[in-house]
Amino acid sequence: MNIKNEVSEIGPYKIVQIFFPVSGFRAVVVVDNIALGPSIGGVRVSQSVTLEEIKRLAGTMTLKNAIAGLPHGGGKAGIMVDPKDPQKEHCFRIFAQAIKDLNEYIPGPDMGSNEECMAWVYDEIGRAVGLPAEEGGLPLDRLGATGFGVAECAEVACHYAAMQLKGAKVAIQGFGSVGKKAAHFLAGKGALIVAVSDTRGCISDLYGIDVKKLTEVKDSTGSVINYRPGTVKKTEELFSEQCDILVPAANPDVIHKGNAGDIRAKLIIQGANIPATREAEELLHRKGILSIPDFIANAGGVIMAAMEHAGKTGEEAFDTISERIKKNTALILEKTFEENILPRQAAEAIARERVLTAMSYKRVL
């Protein structure tokens, strides 16, 4: 792993690398900032995850938690194993023991991990969020906290992009926890889901895809490409689909200068974390495409996690997600238009101000 000694005025505060030479087990935790409280952030499980990626994601969590008004700083972890590894439970239990005394970090689910993984961590160290309902948790993926927030965000953002969500054509990249629930809640608000991709391909139907049926097909066959009717295309063709709203809900940096010019949507709601490069966001802005940054649009999951941590109910969590995401979407878009800046610049300025103010009250940070 390469460690670049890049720090901002906010973080990272602590980087912990875990390596057991005999088994070859590797993991990393980045606690970006704790001025607002102990950090919360997901545990990403992937053989290819890097420290650099975890650092960027942890930094985003600081901004996400701050702008959502949560009493938490930002953190993130990566476990470098295949998410389908048969020894996954063992890996999580080792990981949990290794971070036992790192009280500044509260693990949650992320790509490659879920509520079951959090239950293993909780069983080991009594510290995790996104737990199964049986363990007193609010299972945020099953409830669809992030997808719900994406749809709430889209409703407000449509107003600023001079269109109606009802009847808007939506393309979604990735049909996992976020993509499925975003499709469900967007369709519930009257949007037409016209294209969905996963790693094996893209299914497209301009007359609208039945989300319930697509979910059943994905769950039973493993891919959206087995859905009918519709046209099967290559995965990457999703980005050039004819649509009004694009929701990236898979990997980082999938929108870059090489494909940003092909995007035909008027509005992008970033369901995934850091799905677009800085260069791409600038290019989209110049093209007049409104792109709502990840840490505003996909905050539903962490808001629910923080509500679980505070002992609140699912109903209270959904109300809070709706209220905060709608308010923040309007707040950053007002600033965007007033100051003629990118939505991300507007959002970062507001979030950073909150973190820096909290830091100014601390003696040692």
Catalytic residue list:
76
Residue ranges that bind ligand NAD, judged by CB under 6 A: 110-111, 140-141, 146, 173-179, 197-199, 235, 249-251, 271-273, 298, 301
Closest CA to 163 of 324, 303, 290: 290
Shortest distance, CB of residue 176 to ligand NAD, whole angstroms?
2
Of the two residues 167 and 258, which places its CB atom closer to ligand NAD in the complex?
A: 258
Nearer to ligand NAD, 164 or 277 (CB): 277
Distance CA 289, CA 87 (A): 44
Check: CB of residue 208 under 8 Å from CB of residue 194.
yes
Which is nearer to ligand NAD, 177 or 328 (by Cβ)?
177
- Shortest distance in whole angstroms from residue 286 CB to ligand NAD: 25
Q: Helices 314-339 and 343-360 meet at what angle, rounded to 10?
A: 110
3-state secondary structure the chain: CCCCCCCCCCCCCEEEEEEECCCCEEEEEEEEECCCCCEEEEEEECCCCCHHHHHHHHHHHHHHHHHCCCCCCEEEEEECCCCCCCCHHHHHHHHHHHCCCCCCEEEEECCCCCHHHHHHHHHHHCCCCCCCHHHCCCCHHHHCHHHHHHHHHHHHHHHHCCCCCCCCEEEEECCCHHHHHHHHHHHHCCCEEEEEEECCEEEECCCCCCHHHHHHHHHHHCCHHHCCCCEEECHHHHHHCCCCEEEECCCCCCECCCCHHHCCCCEEECCCCCCECHHHHHHHHHCCCEEECHHHHCCHHHHHHHHHHCCCCHHHHHHHHHHHHHHHHHHHHHHHHHHCCCHHHHHHHHHHHHHHHHHHCCCCC
Using the minimum distance from each CB to ligand NAD, give the nearer residue, 4 or 84: 84
Pick between residue 212 and residue 286 the one whose CB is nearest to ligand NAD. Answer: 212
Q: Which residue is nearest to ligand NAD (CB)?
A: 176
C-alpha 248/C-alpha 340 separation (Å) is 24
